Amino acid sequence: MIFNSDSTNFLNSEPEVGETNPLLKYLQLQSPEVLAQVAKSVSPNVKQIISHNVQGLVGMLPSEAFNVKITTDRENLAGLLVSAMMTGYFLRQMEQRMEMENLLTGSLSLQNELDDE
């Protein structure tokens, strides 16, 4: 799972001096239940694409053959999280667009069938 509402430590971190991030502030105000509900609403297709994207960014060595440890600093980790979030938002919008196009195509096909009768 890409987003685990149980491991939201980044939500509890203090911002850098002089920094205010309205999205982080908004996320910090949300209850764990709301975050879990949002995470559950993501389709398996979107989760798979984000997982593949994140694995590509951090590297993908099989853990059974290697002792894989990934270290980074706070700034790079924040960049990775932002990248994953933006990818998720983009993919969800494209998924909704695909669903709308499929609905419209189905409606047009049905209308054409009714017109042919």
**Mean pLDDT, rounded, for 31-45:** 82
Helix or strand holding residue 91 (H, E):
helix 74-116
pLDDT of residue 1: 36
Asked if residue 10 has pLDDT above 70, the reply is no
Q: What's the whole-number average pLDDT of the chain?
A: 76
CA atoms of 27 and 107, how far apart (whole Å): 39
pLDDT of residue 37: 81
CA atoms of 82 and 76, how far apart (whole Å): 10
Asked if residue 12 has pLDDT above 70, the reply is no
CA atoms of 29 and 23, how far apart (whole Å): 10
**Mean pLDDT, rounded, for 55-63:** 74
| Higher per-residue pLDDT: 60 or 34 | 34
pLDDT of residue 3: 44
**Mean pLDDT, rounded, for 70-89:** 83
pTM for this model (two decimals): 0.52
**Mean pLDDT, rounded, for 32-40:** 81
CA angle 35, 56, 76 (to 5 degrees): 65
Asked if residue 14 has pLDDT above 60, the reply is no
